[in-house]
Amino acid sequence: MVHRGTTRESKQIRKAEISTFEQKWRRHKNKQRIWKRCVQKLALATVEA
């Protein structure tokens, strides 16, 4: 039980340290993915039309 608690604390600390950078990076990647999907959909729509 004690070990589990310590691991949780360490994870929270790691998250606090990494969060700012990782969140920005993930958001950036997500934006790129969404943008690519939108472009593909538009391209398909234009080809079909």
Structure tokens at 31: 């934006």
Which pLDDT belongs to residue 8?
65
Place of tokens 């990494």: 18
Q: What is the C-alpha separation between 13 and 7, in angstroms, rounded?
A: 10
Which pLDDT belongs to residue 15?
64
Element (H, E) at 43: helix 2-48
Q: For 1-49, what is each residue's pLDDT tens digit?
A: 555 556 666 666 666 666 788 888 888 898 999 999 989 998 888 887 6
Q: What is the C-alpha separation between 15 and 26, in angstroms, rounded?
A: 14
2 CA to centre of own chain: 31
Q: What is the C-alpha separation between 42 and 7, in angstroms, rounded?
A: 47
